[in-house]
Structure 1
Amino acid sequence: MYNGNSIGVVVTSYNEEPFVGEVIETVPSYVDRIYAVDDASPDGSWAEIQRVAKRLNADGERDGTAEMESESESEPAHAVADGGDNRRVVPIRHEENRGYGGAVKTGYERAAADGIDVVAVMNGDGQMDPTILDRIIDPVVTGEADYAKGNRLLYRDDREGMSTFRFVGNAILSGLSKFASGYWTISDPQNGYTAISRETIEELDLDEITDEYGFLNHILTHLNVNDCRVADVSMSAIYGDEESSIRYVPFIRYVSLLLLGSFYWRLKRQYVIERFHPAALFYSTGTAGLAVGSSGLAGSIAQAARGRGGFTGALASILTILVGLVSLGVAIAMDAEENEDLQCTWYEDSAGREQARSEAVAQSAQAETTESESGSGSGSESVAAADVDGVAADADAGTDAAGTDTADTTDSGSDSNTESETETDTSIEQPAEPSPARSFE
């Protein structure tokens, strides 16, 4: 349990024999159930999952942690479970390969059937830090988001572990996903470190979402159509010894076509069928303007190359392109405003930023302390001199009243000096740069 919510983690695996066991073992203890889904791997991934599950479930029975009872005795379609339903680790194996999205959906369906409140996904390749799982699930647990995902692009130091090739590919897919999904401030759509509420799983039509690697992009469009709130959570890119099996050129081509279809499907559902919105008109005008203008400009250039003029046609084509660009800009602005309330960014400092900030604050505090001690020393010397003069005056006057007045003056000076030191201490305690709080935009 985590803050009153039952937590499940779907661990997806396809040919992850060297890594999947450790991923399962390092899932935090507050997670109630782990759904380890093997997508018909030809290597020893399934045997490794069974081995780790058997040991962890046996440990859970001994210490009494395996207490949850399943609300369903049936398995999702195309899946075979290994054992009962009262264990911490539930191994599930597909009889045939269905793809990454199919593995995630199997875990979602089983977790929802078991009544798990929040379901996270951690891939079996060991590239997702289990120590930040609480940050991934927090927006969903607090109810401020229905779906949360990691984002490795929010801060520069988070991108240090990402190659230029990966970054460029991710940036391209981020731009396409913004158009398709309508979440204009959400980026890094390929990040599979996610969390979702049970209610959202039950609301989505999972059968309509692709089983392939485009699942992460495709689900965002379906979340938007269902008015689900999505949160981006900053995290660092981690790439270990695992080699990606994705062929990026075919993958980007496939996902681009998928997102194009998703874009038109979303516009039709949101801005035509459910209600008419002028964004649909501006998107149509913009697309037509760019297509007609570009085609006309290409024809005019070809005519000019053959010495047949074409200046007037080129000018008209350029104006048409400009109209198309302006229309697209208006459409994007309308679309972004319409979906503004469905997206938020969960800002968190990474360990490196937090350490750097702490060191900067410590150095600043040390410098202020040195200055304060120097100032306090001068103040003490002044007070001491005043005390000597006061004693001399008392001796000359020979009166108790004068001594009393001098003591009062000395006490007042001490109080003033104490207040000065208190103010100095207070200023030391204030950090030089406030740590960014979790905020939502």
Structure 2
Amino acid sequence: MLLGKRIAVVLPAYNAAATLQRTYSEIPLDIVDDIILIDDASHDETVALAETLGIYTHRHPRNRGYGGNQKTCYRIALERGADIVVMLHPDYQYAPRLVTAMASMIVSGEYDAVLASRILGKGALSGGMPLYKYAANRGLTFVQNWLMGQKLSEYHSGYRAWSRGVLEVVPLQACSDDFVFDNQMLAQAIHAGFRIGEISCPTRYFHDASSIDLGRSCVYGLGVLQTALAYRLHRLGVRNAPLFSPVSASQTVPPSGQAGARP
């Protein structure tokens, strides 16, 4: 807990047994009140290991995709009373110790959301990010900043912190269940006027760290550009985008009871 704010870390997991313990061991338990792992129908021992570590674990009976996993992450975190939710991949690609710094930026009252950027500083290439991924990241970010009127260093980090206020407002149910979910959710937060901060974060690319292949990367890139263009046209009043339409309570978090929880 920080200044009376309850901190939750959510771990969207798929076949993360090889890296989960290393990730968990570096989460700052002195300030984190709740750790929640959502398992997306893994084929390995992710659930058993999470339960051994004492992590609150919720398993999807079928794979719902990266975005679908996060929708459950945020719903459960809010149900369990989180004031700040930090989404951390359990593949040990990002530095778990930065949870304190990210949550503190929101607790300060200066930001509503914080992105851990691999591009600020020199963490990306030195951490093993493939050159083509780095180039694509920089190119897509340039176009997104231009279309959306922002100055972010990257839109593609999988390490993010959100205030409860953001999660109760943005219409997550309108977002994709695939990898473009992250970009769509961020675009929704920007459209709603929330303040987005960034912090430099080292990254690690290694055998057990999750990564999508070239084909899916291309599909993701097209989805990112489509999201940014939809944002621009919506803001200009040229074309209404459901992604940014006024929300109802049913659009913010997915309904409960879609998967079996494991305490």
Contact kept? 1:153, 1:188, Cα under 8 Å? yes
Contact kept? 1:12, 1:103, Cα under 8 Å? yes
Unaligned runs of 5+ in 2: 240-263
**What is the CA–CA distance in structure 2 between the aligned matches of 1:5 and 1:235, rounded to whole Å?**
23
Which one-letter code corresponds to 2:130 in the other structure? S
Q: Deviation of residue 93 (structure 1)?
A: 0.7
2:232 is matched with 267
* Pair 272,157 (structure 1): closer, same or farther in 2 beyond 3 Å: closer
**What is the CA–CA distance in structure 1 between the aligned matches of 2:153 and 2:183, rounded to whole Å?**
10
After superposition, where does 1:140-219 map in structure 2 within 5 Å?
Answer: 140-156=106-122, 159-161=125-127, 162-179=129-146, 182=148, 184-219=150-185
Q: What CA deviation, in whole Å up to 9, does each residue of 1:63-109 have, x standing for no partner? A: xxxxxxxxxxxxxxxxxxxxxxxxxx310111111111221221111
Q: Deviation of residue 183 (structure 1)?
A: 5.1
Contact kept? 1:11, 1:24, Cα under 8 Å? no
Residue aligned with 2:177, SS: coil
Which one-letter code corresponds to 1:138 in the other structure? S
Q: Deviation of residue 189 (structure 1)?
A: 1.8
Q: Deviation of residue 177 (structure 1)?
A: 3.1
Residue 44 of structure 2 corresponds to residue 43 of structure 1: yes
Residue 242 of structure 2 corresponds to residue 242 of structure 1: no
Please, what TM-score do these two structures have when normalized by structure 2?
Answer: 0.82
Residue aligned with 1:232, SS: strand
Contact kept? 2:12, 2:88, Cα under 8 Å? yes
Q: What CA deviation, in whole Å up to 9, does each residue of 1:7-53 have, x standing for no partner? A: 00001211111111332343211100011111111122122112222
**What is the CA–CA distance in structure 2 between the aligned matches of 1:267 and 1:170, rounded to whole Å?**
20
Which one-letter code corresponds to 1:160 in the other structure? S
1:104 is matched with 70
**What is the CA–CA distance in structure 2 between the aligned matches of 1:91 and 1:199, rounded to whole Å?**
24
**What is the CA–CA distance in structure 2 between the aligned matches of 1:193 and 1:183, rounded to whole Å?**
22
Contact kept? 2:124, 2:134, Cα under 8 Å? no
* Pair 43,21 (structure 1): closer, same or farther in 2 beyond 3 Å: same
**What is the CA–CA distance in structure 2 between the aligned matches of 1:262 and 1:51, rounded to whole Å?**
40
Contact kept? 1:37, 1:94, Cα under 8 Å? yes
Q: Deviation of residue 115 (structure 1)?
A: 2.1
Contact kept? 1:115, 1:198, Cα under 8 Å? no
Residue 187 of structure 2 corresponds to residue 221 of structure 1: yes
2:217 is matched with 252
Contact kept? 2:94, 2:201, Cα under 8 Å? no
Residue aligned with 1:203, SS: coil
Which one-letter code corresponds to 1:262 in the other structure? T
* Pair 179,103 (structure 1): closer, same or farther in 2 beyond 3 Å: farther
After superposition, where does 1:372-387 map in structure 2 within 5 Å?
Answer: none
Which residue, out of 132, 148, 172, partners 2:98? 132
**What is the CA–CA distance in structure 1 between the aligned matches of 2:218 and 2:143, rounded to whole Å?**
11
* Pair 170,260 (structure 1): closer, same or farther in 2 beyond 3 Å: closer
**What is the CA–CA distance in structure 2 between the aligned matches of 1:260 and 1:131, rounded to whole Å?**
32
Which one-letter code corresponds to 1:252 in the other structure? S
Contact kept? 1:179, 1:263, Cα under 8 Å? no
Of 23-32 and 150-159, the range deviating more from structure 2 = 150-159
Contact kept? 1:209, 1:218, Cα under 8 Å? yes
**What is the CA–CA distance in structure 2 between the aligned matches of 1:243 and 1:32, rounded to whole Å?**
26
Q: Greater share of helix residues, 1 or 2?
A: 1
Corresponding pairs, count: 238
Root-mean-square deviation over aligned CA pairs: 2.2
Q: Which has the higher contact order (CA 8 A, sep 6+)?
A: 2
Q: Deviation of residue 270 (structure 1)?
A: 2.1
Percent identity, please: 27
**What is the CA–CA distance in structure 2 between the aligned matches of 1:265 and 1:144, rounded to whole Å?**
28
Contact kept? 2:123, 2:203, Cα under 8 Å? no
**What is the CA–CA distance in structure 1 between the aligned matches of 2:232 and 2:211, rounded to whole Å?**
33
1:19 is matched with 19
After superposition, where does 1:273-422 map in structure 2 within 5 Å?
Answer: none
Unaligned runs of 5+ in 1: 54-88, 275-441
